[in-house]
Structure 1
Amino acid sequence: MILAFDTYYYNEKAKTVCLLFDKWDAAEPKQVFTEIRDNANEYIPGEFYKKELPCITALLEKIDLTNIKYIVVDGYAILDDEGKYGLGGHLYNYLEEKIPVIGVGKTNFQTVEERKREVLRGESKNPLYVTAVGIDVDTAAEYIKQMYGKYRMPTLLKKLDTLTKEI
């Protein structure tokens, strides 16, 4: 099983949504989890994970992780080629390095090159940027490429983004 997380911020609240799906090419999630938190942490430049990680971990407490093989987050797992952790890396640490985390970014983060893969999907000329911890980045990029949908953004990740913004 695979989990994918995204968080949306509005009116000093944070809405985190998680989709559970069973295979990379799944068209629909098996289950949807949601958590809304008041008083979302402030954004600190270069430390985005401090804002979003508490939202994800609060929702994770409601999910049985027994059969979870991978987690996908909106953002970066690694921030540079020395291995500085981004949101995905900090989540991997929180999970005691038991579940690999794949970060999928929509914009290029210039400080990481060797540990990042560009994934082109559909007919898009704009890649997704994949980083990973606990799994080889080439394997992670292949998994994201295999996800269902004919556009740049896999269908489930687009659905996830849409669900976070429904208030």
Structure 2
Amino acid sequence: MILAADVQYGDTGAQAAGVLFTDWPDAAPERTLLVHLPEVAEYVPGEFYRRELPCLLRLVEVVAVPLSAVVVDGYVTLGEDARPGLGWKLWEALGRAVPVVGVAKTAFAGTPAETEVRRGGSHSPLYVTAAGLPLADAKAQVAAMHGPHRLPTLLKQADRLARGLEAASTFGLTTAGQAGK
């Protein structure tokens, strides 16, 4: 299964949303998930991963099925020198066993042009980075994803779930480490 993940922050906590699907061109998910984390770390400039990584790891834990890839809203590597970003930290936390693909909507300073993917006739690119998967393969997979617009259907669904605009099929509540339906 492939997991598309997104996180939305509230005043104190966060909602980590996941969309599970079988193959990159799928139009509909097999399952959707939402995990509420009542407490998250404060945002520290340059260390965003410290805030978001625990949310993503909790979501992966709730998934409880083998993953062939994880798609994050953001970057795996940052800038021309490919510094480790959120996706890289996730890839390392998963023991480098599951490829992580980052799909960002805005350019990070120094983002190489070869990361750009244009979809749906949009003049604005998506920026694709990856770990555990060659960049060319990651770009091809993102380009092949379902949807007529710039942002693939299932990535948009993950965003809507995280924002509370859509209901999930599975819920996990993080309080004392328990998950439930």
2:89 counterpart of 1:90: yes
Show the counterpart of 1:108.
107
Q: Percent sequence identity over matched residues?
A: 40
Which residue number in structure 2 is paired with residue 127 of structure 1?
A: 125
Superposition deviation, residue 145 in structure 1: 0.4
Aligned equivalent of 1:36: 36
The residue that corresponds to 1:157 in the other structure is: 155
Structure 1 gap ranges (5+):
none
The answer on whether the counterparts of 1:78 and 1:112 sit within 8 Å (CA) in structure 2 is no
Task: Summarize deviations over 1:106-139 as a string: whole Å, max 9, x none.
Answer: 000123327x510100121100000001111111
Counterpart in 1 of 2:177? none
Question: Aligned letter for 1:139?
Answer: D
| Structure 1 position 61, deviation (Å) | 1.4
Question: Which stretches in structure 2 are left out of the alignment for 5+ residues?
Answer: 166-181
CA distance in 2, matches of 1:166, 1:63: 19
> Aligned partners of 2:58, 2:141: CA distance in 1, in Å?
26
AA aligned to 1:111 is: G
Q: TM-score, normalised by structure 2?
A: 0.87
Structure 1 residues 34-77: Cα deviation after superposition (integer angstroms, max 9, x where no partner):
111112211111111111000111121122242x1111000000
Tell which deviates more after alignment, 57-66 or 145-154. Answer: 57-66
* RMSD of Structure 2 on Structure 1 (CA): 1.3
- What is the alpha-carbon distance in structure 1 between the residues aligned to residue 38 and residue 148 of structure 2? 36
User: Would you say how many aligned residue pairs link Structure 1 and Structure 2?
Assistant: 165
1:16-48: CA deviations, max 9, x gaps?
Answer: 001100011111110111111112211111111
CA distance in 1, matches of 2:61, 2:160: 23
Which deviations, in whole Å up to 9, do the C-alpha atoms of 1:74-117 show, x marking residues without a partner?
A: 00000133332111000000000000100000000123327x51
